[in-house]
Amino acid sequence: MWIFGRKGSSGFSASSTAEEVTDGIDGSGLTAIVTGATSGIGAETTRVLAMRGVHVVMAVRNIEKGVTVKESILTETPNAKVDVMELDLSSQASVRDFAAKYCSSGLPLHIFM
Helix (H, G, I), strand (E, B) or coil at 35: strand
Q: What is the pLDDT of residues 49-88, one digit of tens each?
A: 999 999 999 999 999 999 999 999 999 999 999 999 999 9
Helix (H, G, I), strand (E, B) or coil at 37: coil
Answer yes or no: is pLDDT of 6 > 90: no
Domains of the chain are 28-112 (3.40.50.720)
pLDDT (0 to 100) of residue 1: 44
* Residues sharing a CB contact under 8 Å with residue 36, sequence separation 6 or more, in sequence order: 42, 59, 60
Q: What is the pLDDT of residues 13-54, one digit of tens each?
A: 778 888 888 899 999 999 999 999 999 999 999 999 999 999
Determine contact, residues 70/100, Cβ cutoff 8 Å.
no
Say if strands 111-112 and 82-86 run parallel, antiparallel, or are unpaired.
unpaired
User: Rounded to an integer, what distance in angstroms lies between the CA atom of residue 10 and that of residue 57?
Assistant: 29
Q: What is the mean pLDDT of residues 6-15?
A: 77
